Amino acid sequence: MKWRIVGRKFELSRLHQKRERRFYEEKVSVFGGRWSLLGMMPVVRPKNGRSGWVMLQMPGVNTATFGVLIMVSVQLALALVFRWKGLDALNSAYLEGGLSWKGIISGRVWQLFTHIFLHGNWAHLAVNALLFYYAAARLSHVFSGWRIFNLFMVCGLGGGLAHITLQAFVPGIPPLVGASGGVTGLLVGFFSISPDSKMIIFNVSARNLSKGVLGSSALLFSMTPWLEIPLLADLGRWLELVIGNFIFETAHLVHFVGGILGWMLIDRFLPRLLSSDDLARMRT
């Protein structure tokens, strides 16, 4: 039986809907997870048919692992540049590869892509690499590596375009580095097609978590003090005093735009027609 994707739902004939849905959720669930965080305990799915806790997978030969290796390799290269050439050479590398409005209008169009693989420090890399692996590993059961990469790049590029558009009107915003836009797009896209899954660490459904990610990104961006939005800017200054300036050094607009793109485009990246056998083959 074929699955016909319409919007965000899989439509089946009424005669076989219950049987096929049970088979899909229990036998070829692409989001329930097979292994726990350390790969030592099988993940048990609840009996109500909903997807269970979604854990990290063991590393394998897939887009998730390759993507993390690329990010780590780039950061190692930057560390070697700093060690051998000094701080000036490192700053030049970030200026050449980081995304900025000034760089784009001067002809450095490669910044639209290179900024995604650069990170400010190892902590920045660790967060993005972990979240990228988390989302890409789950999606790899249904999507080809090429589809995951394309969705990641589209969301990252969209977030980057939003950033330089803001830079064009608000001078003083630093260049953008990091895979946050693409990572947020993968996460929200994954959440939207597996809304009842519960995420590791967070005891909350994917549906509510995606709303929280998008809502908090939009709110924090609106609270950025230099936007001078009444009341919100004052609240943002209070947060800076309580938490620190770093809270508004994060590219919240990039997260929001990347997440929205992931939510809007995930259906377009799904294979249009899938049989139960196809899903089972991709799951194993």
d(Cα 185, Cα 155) in Å, to the nearest integer? 5
Q: What pLDDT was estimated at residue 200? A: 61
Segments in the chain forming alpha helices (H)? 17-27, 63-85, 87-97, 101-105, 111-114, 122-139, 145-169, 180-193, 206-222, 232-242, 252-269, 276-283
In the prediction, which pLDDT does 157 show?
A: 97
pLDDT the model gives residue 284: 44
CATH number of 59-271: 1.20.1540.10
Structure confidence by residue, pLDDT tens digits, 2-42: 333 333 333 333 333 443 333 333 333 333 333 323 222 22
- Bridge partners for 273 per DSSP: 4
The two structure tokens encoding residue 197: 């899954």
What pLDDT shows up at residue 25? 37
The series of mean pLDDT values per 10 residues for the chain, 284 residues long, is: 38 37 35 31 37 53 88 93 84 92 95 95 94 89 88 97 93 90 94 74 78 93 88 90 80 95 88 49 41
For 174, list phi and psi in degrees, rounded to 5.
Answer: -70, 165
pLDDT of residue 7: 39
Q: Do 74 and 94 form a contact (C-beta atoms < 8 A)?
A: no
Q: What is the pTM of this model?
A: 0.75
Report whether 64 contacts 190 (CB < 8 A): no
pLDDT recorded at residue 63: 86
Dist. CA 205–CA 207, nearest whole Å: 5
Can you give the pLDDT at residue 225?
87
Residues 88-122: pLDDT tens digits?
888 888 999 999 999 999 999 999 999 999 999 99
Nearest-Å Rg of the Cα atoms of the chain is: 21
Residues 6+ apart with CB under 8 A from 167: 100, 101, 102, 173
